[in-house]
Amino acid sequence: MDFFKKNKKLSICVLLTAFATLTFSFKDDLFLISKNLDIFASVYRELNINYVDEVNTTKVMRTGIDAMLEHLDPYTEFVPESEIEDYKMKYVSTQYGGIGAGVIHREGRVFISDPFEGYPAQKADIRAGDEIISIDGNQIKDKTNELVSQLMKGPRETPIILVIERNGQKLEKTLKRAEISQPNVSYHGMVAGNIGYIKLDKFLENSAQEVKDALVDIEKNHPSGLILDLRYNGGGILQEAVKIVNLFVDRNVDVVIQKGKNPEKTIAYKTFMSPLEPEIPLVVLVNSRSASASEIVAGSLQDLDRAVIIGQRSFGKGLVQQTFNLPYNSLVKITVAKYYTPSGRCVQALDYTHRNEDGSVDRVADSLMTVYQTKAGRSVYDGGGIFPDFYVDPYKYHQITQVLVNKYYIFDYGTIYARNHPTIAAAKDFKLSDGDYQDFVNYLNNKNYNYQTATEKTLIALKTDAEKDKKYEEIKGEFENLKAKLSTNKKNDLTQYKPEIKRLLENEIVHRYYFEKGRTEQGFQHDKELEKAQEILSNKTLVAAVLKGEGTYKIIGKPGQMSAQIE
């Protein structure tokens, strides 16, 4: 009895001590916050009163806020009132008032790049390649992107007058703005093998419903399998990701858990309704640009052994942000938690809390990654994105092709081609003839598409070093011969890399006739990840074996770069 009394007194003493420590700690935190706020406000006040020149107070404050957030992570940011609408479009809603067209800015000039099918710009026969000269009488040459965007947008049904230039001729177009809704699901349909395909570009408002609607439409064809394409999908709203997983997984299953310093930010998200397609063989495509909510969907379906993941290692963003309203219609977006997939892994690749002395951030080394187990006992990894079950080498375009894209020569030739060809074949079947490709080569005759190869850069460095050592004259002959050979080889690049250049030309041309849907369908012809997904889904034995962790797997290089061979 004495023992319990003594321990009771000890417990009370410990509790009181802990409470006192927490109280003092809390008071210390409040004091430090109050102290630093007072210092900050005082500096700001004295600056405004005493600085020798006029101070732009808004700019000074914004600089201070940005500097304060800079040492955290790139996802924690302040959004002033002037940027709220752009923020909502980027992170929350897919709707805005405008004419429905994308633009590109080139050397102070603005061109239509992407008229959206069915919206005012396309209905008014505004085409990709048209140069915008003025908007409502405002000349836009050398104007900022922000100003051009501001002039284009406005409430629905409000008039807007564009003066465009096409083929050297000025045309005036009077339109009425409409509510523009860019879909989260940019394409869905059937591909070879009676396989359904859904391309999800973002996880903004209503994305789960759009995926569900696409799935219901695909179900009419009684598909043998389904491909969910999350490549280049940078994420969005976490709850939408949970709803999408729920389309394929039973109710009351953990999809993702977010854990933060604040206990209120630790939340487990579970499926909450019966799935629409709990049995359909499923493949998810990812690449290095698949991030955040994309990784929640891919990681959860992988951990639950519900989908085969194909592509490349995903981006590795395991952080959760929440917005908080501030005075004067501004807000701050703060990273409040990390998220963990059902196996318990966090895919965050960069540790922003422990920066290097120069401020840089390192990726988690592959050797330090922890192994976790899926529901069926398969090995998965943390610390660096989602590793695919089947790795497909990403296609890397040659320098010549990159230059042709970056200098807009492929874009401009698409404009020329569309001008001279009223119609083309269906998007899935369109091919550029050899004669058309030669026409493109001729178009480039007076264009500058030079670039430096790695070998040329090394050669230039060698010349610099030789000149410093006063040895250049001794090797000048050999240097010039080698330089000439490299130059001759580059002239053959348009022939050597014709297949990949043609591929991009075809895609640009198809877009002029069939818009974004056509671009996607034309891209199917050369899509190695899609081809691999069709191959996997055509072998139900292989799909089942992979998801159960059966068979023999040959690991190539790093985790997630694997080919499967069932024995």
Pick the catalytic residue: 207, 290, 292, 300?
292
Q: Is 317 marked active-site?
A: yes
Pick the catalytic residue: 199, 202, 212, 317?
317
Give the sign of the dihedral formed by CA 448, CA 453, CA 455, CA 456: positive
Q: Is 303 marked active-site?
A: yes
Q: What is the DSSP track for 61-115?
A: HHHHHHHHHHTS-TT-EEE-GGGHHHHHHHHT-SEEEE-SEEEEEETTEEEEEEE
Distance between CA atoms of residues 434 and 441, nearest Å: 10
Are 227 and 537 in contact by the 8 Å Cβ rule? The answer is yes
Q: What is the DSSP track for 426-486?
A: -TTT----HHHHHHHHHHTTTS------HHHHHHHHHHHHHHHTT-HHHHHHHHHHHHHHH
DSSP 124: T
Beta-strand pair 101-106/379-381: unpaired
Distance between CA atoms of residues 491 and 397, nearest Å: 17
Distance between CA atoms of residues 321 and 72, nearest Å: 13
Q: Which amino acid type is present at position 239?
A: Q
Distance between CA atoms of residues 444 and 429, nearest Å: 26
CA nearest 499: which of 533, 525, 531? Answer: 525
Are 127 and 102 in contact by the 8 Å Cβ rule? The answer is no
SS3 563: strand
Q: Which amino acid type is present at position 193?
A: G
Q: CB-side exposure of 309: number of CA atoms within 13 Å? A: 30
Q: Is 2 marked active-site?
A: no
Helix or strand run (H / E) with residue 257: strand 254-259
Pick the catalytic residue: 201, 229, 303, 382?
303
Catalytic residues: 292, 303, 317
